[in-house]
């Protein structure tokens, strides 16, 4: 009792306004270092999520995700854990390029409240999960953000040069 599971993983559910409150307190206490913490945490969470998805695929006898764009697309879109409605708009597993949009990112509220993108945790989460799923170190950029007044949050992801 008192525990919630999602696909066999124990989870904690917060009200949607809890994350902005936590971010505000981190910024108050540590200034811009809060963004570094969010980047590290997001990447780690995404990476762990990617590892769990790869284990699940292996247990089901699926081939490598790099050869299965459908698996990667569904894994990212359907396993978003409340971060918002994630959609993989473009995916090229050969080049490693991806474009992802989120129509209601939890980090972008309040809408039109910033002059720069605000989805720091989410961008890093996407970098982590894609790094695992395509077996290459992925970095990205938030090109549109609802916090800036854009229609949705859009991310461009690509592998680091080797």
By the 8 A CB rule, do 39 and 125 touch? Answer: no
pLDDT of residue 7: 66
Cβ atoms 97, 158 nearer than 8 A: yes
Can you give the pLDDT at residue 40? Answer: 97
pLDDT at 83: 86
Domain limits, the chain = 17-159
Mean pLDDT by 10-residue block, N- to C-terminus, for the chain (162 residues)? 76 83 92 94 94 83 70 76 89 90 90 90 95 92 96 96 78
Q: Percentages helix, strand, coil for the chain, rounded to the nearest 5?
A: 45, 20, 35
pLDDT score, position 6: 72
Whole-number pLDDT of residue 80: 57
pLDDT, position 128:
96
What burial class does residue 136 get, using C-beta atoms within 10 Å of its C-beta: 0-12 exposed, 13-18 middle, 19+ buried?
middle
Kindly state the helix (H) or strand (E) to which residue 30 belongs, with its residue range: helix 18-30
Q: Name the CATH superfamily, with its identifier, for domain 17-159.
A: Trafficking protein particle complex subunit 3 (3.30.1380.20)
Q: What is the pLDDT of residue 29?
A: 95
Q: CA-CA distances (angstroms) from residue 62 to 23, 119, 132? A: 39, 32, 15
DSSP string, 42-86: HHHHHHHHHHHHHHHHHHTT---GGG-HHHHHHHHHH--TTS--E
């Amino acid at each position: 009792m008192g525990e919630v599971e999602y696909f066999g993983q124990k989870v904690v559910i917060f009200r949607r306004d809890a994350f902005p409150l936590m971010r505000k307190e981190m910024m108050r206490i540590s200034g811009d270092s809060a963004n570094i913490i969010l980047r590290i945490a997001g990447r780690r969470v995404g990476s762990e999520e990617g590892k769990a998805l790869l284990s699940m695929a292996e247990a089901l006898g699926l081939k490598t995700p790099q050869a299965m764009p459908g698996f990667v697309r569904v894994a990212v879109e359907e396993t978003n854990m409340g971060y918002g409605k994630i959609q993989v708009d473009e995916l090229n597993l050969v080049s490693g390029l991806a474009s992802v949009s989120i129509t209601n990112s939890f980090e972008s509220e309040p809408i039109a409240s910033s002059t720069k993108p605000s989805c720091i945790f989410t961008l890093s989460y996407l970098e982590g999960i894609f790094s695992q799923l395509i077996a290459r170190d992925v970095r990205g950029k938030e090109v549109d953000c609802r916090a800036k007044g854009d229609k949705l949050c859009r991310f461009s992801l690509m592998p680091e040069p080797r």
